[in-house]
Amino acid sequence: MKLLVIAGGRHPYEESTPVLERFLQAAGHAVTVNWDAKVLSNGKEMENYDVLIFNTLRANETALSKEEQDGMKEFISNGKGFVCIHISGCIPDSWSEYREITGGGWDMAKSFHPPYGQFTVNIRNPSHPGVTGITDFVTNDELYMGIQYNEGNDVFMTADSDEGTHQWRGNPTYMPAGTFPLGWTRTYGHGKVFVTLLGHNGLSFETVEFQKLVLNGINWAAN
């Protein structure tokens, strides 16, 4: 398949994007990586791609332009696939409709997470095509809490956390116990959308199960 990866923003994408590109190419995909999003506004060029992958934070100074937003909406709603990784689902103040595409994601004002570290990812729905060949696994990553979230998402992957108080933006912050969604699918128009909240840095991307997850998501979104 022909894949377009949009990368860049305030996150360790210089670590994660080369790993992403490597395992996508190893799976036989033709991969184009862009560190800006201008291509989204070029409908003719976008026709060349089967799936759009976001490994990028597009908010505040890196937010998509109106033309890029419209191009992205057209690409997905017309039947192409979208794979959204980690904080790529952040809902910018300038584009609330993005939540209708992703089904939710990081909220700059309200979301939080315990310190980066190891935790167990639980496969909630083993029959979901997003987790074909994957069982519960341990990863090094961030466990997002307090995200924006739409009802009706088809959640296939979660993680549990105990309550605790952790430093967050310089302040001790209580973080509740619970089960938190880490992966879901939905549709937008005629297109398929695959979201995982995993994927903070290069080490996260080196996790074998994470790579299988992304590859499964691409196959699901494209068909």
Distance CA 108, CA 14 (A): 22
**pLDDT for the residue 3:** 98
Rounded average pLDDT over 77-86? 98
Q: Which DSSP letter does residue 27 get?
A: T
User: Which among 120, 160, 141 is positioned nearest to 199, based on CA atoms?
Assistant: 141
**pLDDT for the residue 49:** 98
Distance CA 82, CA 90 (A): 15
Q: Which domain holds residue 152?
A: 2-222
Statement: residue 37 has pLDDT above 90: yes
Distance CA 7, CA 52 (A): 11
**pLDDT for the residue 94:** 85
Rounded average pLDDT over 67-88? 98
**pLDDT for the residue 93:** 86
Rounded average pLDDT over 74-95? 95
Contacts of 1 (CB under 8 A, 6+ apart): 29, 30, 50, 51, 218, 222
**pLDDT for the residue 28:** 98
Binning pLDDT at 50, 70 and 90, where does residue 9 land? very high
Rounded average pLDDT over 200-215? 98
9, 37 Cβ separation under 8 angstroms: no
The two structure tokens encoding residue 94: 């300038």
Binning pLDDT at 50, 70 and 90, where does residue 147 land? very high
**Number of C-alpha atoms within 13 angstroms, CB side, residue 105?**
33
Residue 122 forms beta bridges with which residues?
A: 158
One-character DSSP codes across 192-210: EEEEE----SHHHHH-HHH
Average pLDDT of every residue of the chain: 96
Rounded average pLDDT over 133-151? 96
**Number of C-alpha atoms within 13 angstroms, CB side, residue 50?**
13
User: Which CATH number covers residue 23?
Assistant: 3.40.50.880
Number of domains into which the chain is organized: 1
198, 212 Cβ separation under 8 angstroms: no
Stated pTM of the model: 0.97
Rounded average pLDDT over 41-66? 95
**pLDDT for the residue 8:** 95
Distance CA 142, CA 201 (A): 9
Percent of the chain whose predicted confidence (pLDDT) is above 70: 100
Rounded average pLDDT over 31-38? 97
